[in-house]
């Protein structure tokens, strides 16, 4: 699933995408999302995308 484009989506749609894309599975040993996002929640890490300030790929590159 591709992230919604900022110009074609609402803030709520982008937030829902982030929640689904980075869903916690409560198994840190097998997941690694928290480690990749440096201990931040997905909503905090991708706040600029959710607010429409930066594209998803730009924010994602911060964590590579």
pLDDT, tens only, 1-41: 899 999 999 999 999 999 999 998 888 888 889 889 998 99
pLDDT at residue 13 in the model: 98
Q: For the chain, which residues make up each domain, given as ranges?
A: 6-61
Half-sphere exposure of 30 (CA within 13 A, CB side): 5
Mind spelling out the 3-state secondary structure of 3-29? CCCHHHCCHHHHHHHHHHHCCCCCCCC
pLDDT in tens, 36-58: 999 899 999 999 999 999 999 99
Residue 31 CA to residue 28 CA, distance in Å, equals 5
């Amino acid at each position: 699933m591709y992230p919604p484009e900022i110009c074609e989506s609402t803030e709520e749609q982008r937030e829902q995408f982030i929640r689904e894309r980075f869903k916690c599975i409560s198994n840190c040993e097998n997941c690694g999302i928290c480690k990749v996002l440096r201990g931040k929640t997905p909503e905090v890490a991708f706040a600029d995308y959710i607010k429409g300030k930066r594209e998803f790929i730009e924010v994602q590159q911060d964590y590579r």
